[in-house]
Structure 1
Amino acid sequence: MNDVLVRNVRPLHAGAVDLLVRDGRIAEVALGVQADDAQVIDGAGRLIFPGFVDAHAHMDKTLLGLGWYVNDVPQNLRSMIDNEREMRLARGIDSHTQSSKQARLALAAGTTHIRTFVDIDTGWGLSGFEGVAQTREDFRGALDIQIVAFPQSGMLVRPGTVELMEDALRNGADVVGGLDPSTIDRDPARHLDVVFGMAERYDKDVDIHLHEPGDLGAFSVELIAERTKVLGWQGRVVISHAFSLGGVDDAHLGKLIDLLLENDIAIMSHGPSGGRPAPPVARLAAAGVRLCTGNDGIRDAWGPLNMPDMLLRTFLVAYRNNFRRDADLELALHISTYGSAQVVGAAEYGLAPGAAADFVLLPGENHLEAIIERPKERLVVKGGRVVAEGGVALV
């Protein structure tokens, strides 16, 4: 691979620098770097960000390109789960085609890493997983895709799902997913025994959707922490959504934060809409809890509001948490880059020498303004190769 010299770009809290990329990695960051015979990219004073990391996606569900989905579904979790399942069975959604559409848009917007949940369901077996796994292969070298085997419709309540999840884990799924142990499977101890049992057998990380509110959700957090400690899975567990952290009193929250820290459990919060309680991001960050974020579902049967743009997601996390000060906006940006990268295990991430050459160039006065303005003109580099430019993925 030829050397690449990126001239005149501006990292966060730094003046203009040049980046020398060699063998897909950042070799040097300085002003006035010299490299004979290198391919030159003129940064023209643009801002440089490390590639954005979407730590919570549902690429198999998206209805992008399939027309407007009329949503008249009662807004409770069980109704939305059942409606989506019936719709997917009736329409025969092709998860390879649909996840590829989302991958192209995400890449064009500067996302270089995605953790996506994929529904494992007796209604369609492993076809959803296989389709997204093909997309993962199609985009290899341009977009890193990590797959969570996810029992969206329930695991214990739908016999055969556990066996399908194990098949997915044997065939390339990266992470074990779980879902609302009390309200969906209605057997929290057994649900978590099965989830953590699979994690141990296949040496996989765990990422559990937890929509359960208030004290019930807090109880599930306690059970997840207990399983994490017993198995020795510290640093390998994420609780996604964790709405209950925003729905308990201050003293109870403090005890839950202690459990998260003791067991090194990360929290994913996407800045949820609708006025529901949400994790207090600033307090969690101040305590040292690891945080990540993601776009959740994109134009699917659950709702039409999200788009695969992590700068927009950064804005929404900031908006939901009433972030106004520069330091708070920087926290939101950190979560959608370095924080999410750490949680999903993105290796050698960042803009320092030795890091993988995954980065995004875009115009703007500064990085915080970019969160607000979200310019469409973005040049995306993965492993030292331009993979998207002008809003178009080159894959």
Structure 2
Amino acid sequence: MTVPFADIAWPDKSRYWLTSARVPACLLADRSLPGFYDTEGVARADLLIEDGKIARIVAAGVADTDGARVDLGGRQVWPTLIDMHTHLDKGHSVERSPNIDGTFNNARLGATADRPNWTVADLRRRIDFGLRCAEAHGVSAIRTHLDTYPDSAERSWTVLREMRSEWAGRVDLQMVSLCPLETLMDGFGDRIAAIVSESGGLIGGVTRPAVGSHGAPGADIEAQLDRLFALAIRHDLDIDLHVDETGDRTAASLPHIARAALRHGYKGRVVCGHCCSLALQDDSEIDRTLDLLAAAEIAIVTLPTVNMYLQGRQPGRTPRWRGVTVVHEMLARGIRVAAAGDNCRDSFYAYGDHDMVDTFRQAVRILHVDHPLAQAPSLVGAMPSAITGFGNHGQIAEGAAARLIVFNARTINEIVSRPQADRVVPAHGRRLTAAAPDYSELWPYDETARSTIPRG
């Protein structure tokens, strides 16, 4: 008889077996594991945990009888996941700086109005809260974009460098600079590139103008991209951009970015996030853009929850589209695509909990990456691992740290169907007991300090 999930005894030992586990093949670093794979592409396996690492992965039933074991009764085991596009510096500011109508323009205005509140203490409090949420939910690696402006660059990057060191081995961090590309054109661009280089980060930006929303590329986009790539080359920095986050089909900076990557010899070193407007363009234009993306080996990250929240919003009108890019067509071309969480409880997205299992479950529905489900988990595991270079995060591999999520579910369908609030997260072989922090830690907000947000 299978032991009820709540009654499973997790050993406090340095060596034990997880037996009768189910692991999606797309999350196995070595997909040659012998044995039976079901219709969802899931393998039955036994995993040996030893000194905080995955020492062996064998077909179910092959495990030796030496030492302690946990019989999972066919339940799913995943690696801890990666959120490769988020904004920790904005997170959990929604009460202080709400978006008055949920539109992109007022999200931008809300974030700008709130930025003066970002003291060192404020950043540390909100980011630490977000990282504890992520860790409790089974997220072990995050790439965060940081608003990088003259009045805040050094402060924000100093805080994130410190927190990256403090959280190393629990939630590993990468940082990306974020500002409109036009702000890189003068000496501030050199200052940003130096900060990013000294911090071991990535250089990024947004293709919309400093004042306004994404739209048709300006006449100076080529010069701006050449400047961005020149800074990246000078400091040997990878690039991660916010691109065409709009329902305006004339917004088409993505082909310019791909041509710039080819022009500057930066194949495989550029990530573009959002790319929403591409989905609204003519099929012939989509095909031409996908050809360029494939040639430049540009990776794409889709942010399904946030873009469905922001895109197509008009007062009194039901939204007519989902706001996401052409994921299926990209995957068919061999373009690397990941899904990520993006904003969390701020003016760009009022909800979220830094939970990539929740993001995965919503992405399956929003993007229709089901029927079959076999490759869907790779969007939040193996694919972002390959794109970001976050080591063996997001994959189950022999010799890797035993950072795992164990679900009370036997199929991927079951994972999608329930919130999985009872999941267990063994980190380095030991079960985490800390829960997500209580929202009361963020209160009380000083109501007199609430941002005054102009209407767009």
Alignment TM-score > 0.5, same fold: yes
Query: Which residue among 47, 59, 63 is the counterpart of 2:76?
Result: 47
| Aligned residues of 1:5 and 1:19 also touching (Cα < 8 A) | yes
Which range is displaced more, 274-283 or 116-125? 274-283
Q: C-alpha separation between the residues in 2 aligned to 1:303 and 1:295? A: 10
Identify the residue that residue 195 of structure 2 maps to in structure 1: 168
- Compute the TM-score of the two structures, normalised by the length of structure 1: 0.87
Q: C-alpha separation between the residues in 1 aligned to 2:202 and 2:86? A: 13
The DSSP-based 3-state class of the residue aligned with 1:278 is coil
Identify the residue that residue 96 of structure 1 maps to in structure 2: 124
Query: Which residue among 332, 339, 350 is the counterpart of 2:376?
Result: 332
Q: Would you say 1:348 and 2:392 are equivalent positions? A: yes
Query: Which residue among 251, 258, 271 is the counterpart of 2:291?
Result: 258
Query: Which residue among 123, 137, 146 is the counterpart of 2:165?
Result: 137
Q: C-alpha separation between the residues in 2 aligned to 1:252 and 1:154? A: 24
Identify the residue that residue 17 of structure 1 maps to in structure 2: 45
| Aligned residues of 2:14 and 2:429 also touching (Cα < 8 A) | no
User: How far apart are 1:260 and its partner, in Å?
Assistant: 0.8
Query: What amino acid is the match of 1:237?
Result: V
Identify the residue that residue 203 of structure 1 maps to in structure 2: 236
| Aligned residues of 1:378 and 1:390 also touching (Cα < 8 A) | no
Identify the residue that residue 33 of structure 1 maps to in structure 2: 63
Change (3 A) 1:14 1:316: closer
Which range is displaced more, 4-13 or 259-268? 4-13
Which range is displaced more, 230-239 or 270-279? 270-279
Q: C-alpha separation between the residues in 2 aligned to 1:8 and 1:334? A: 22
Change (3 A) 1:101 1:36: same
Give the root-mean-square deviation of aligned CA atoms.
2.9
User: How far apart are 1:81 and its partner, in Å?
Assistant: 2.6
User: What pairs with 1:108-119 in structure 2 (closer than 5 Å)?
Assistant: 108-119=136-147
User: How far apart are 1:41 and its partner, in Å?
Assistant: 5.1
Query: What amino acid is the match of 2:342?
Result: D
What percentage of aligned pairs have identical amino acids?
Answer: 23
User: How far apart are 1:62 and its partner, in Å?
Assistant: 0.7
Identify the residue that residue 32 of structure 2 maps to in structure 1: none
Q: C-alpha separation between the residues in 2 aligned to 1:127 and 1:386? A: 35
Change (3 A) 1:50 1:232: same
1:173-222 Cα distance to aligned partner (Å, 9 max, x none): 4211121156769531232122212221221211110135555432x112
The DSSP-based 3-state class of the residue aligned with 1:312 is helix
What is the total number of aligned residue pairs between the two structures? Answer: 385
Q: C-alpha separation between the residues in 1 aligned to 2:102 and 2:20? A: 52
1:130-167 Cα distance to aligned partner (Å, 9 max, x none): 2222221111111121111221x665289664244123
| Aligned residues of 1:379 and 1:390 also touching (Cα < 8 A) | no
Query: What amino acid is the match of 1:353?
Result: E
- Compute the TM-score of the two structures, normalised by the length of structure 2: 0.76
Q: C-alpha separation between the residues in 2 aligned to 1:259 and 1:313? A: 28
Q: Would you say 1:376 and 2:421 are equivalent positions? A: yes
Q: C-alpha separation between the residues in 2 aligned to 1:41 and 1:150? A: 45
User: How far apart are 1:283 and its partner, in Å?
Assistant: 1.7
Q: C-alpha separation between the residues in 2 aligned to 1:306 and 1:200? A: 36
Query: What amino acid is the match of 1:63?
Result: H
| Aligned residues of 2:272 and 2:299 also touching (Cα < 8 A) | yes
Bigger strand share: 1
User: What pairs with 1:254-333 in structure 2 (closer than 5 Å)?
Assistant: 254-271=287-304, 272-273=307-308, 274=311, 275=321, 277-323=323-369, 325-327=370-372, 329-333=373-377
Identify the residue that residue 227 of structure 2 maps to in structure 1: 194
- Uncovered stretches (5+) of structure 2, i.e. residues with no partner: 1-12, 25-40, 213-217, 312-320, 438-456
Q: C-alpha separation between the residues in 2 aligned to 1:234 and 1:387? A: 41
Q: Would you say 1:61 and 2:93 are equivalent positions? A: no
1:9-39 Cα distance to aligned partner (Å, 9 max, x none): 22124454321134554221123423756x7
Identify the residue that residue 156 of structure 1 maps to in structure 2: 183
Query: Which residue among 217, 229, 235 is the counterpart of 2:251?
Result: 217
Change (3 A) 1:158 1:205: closer
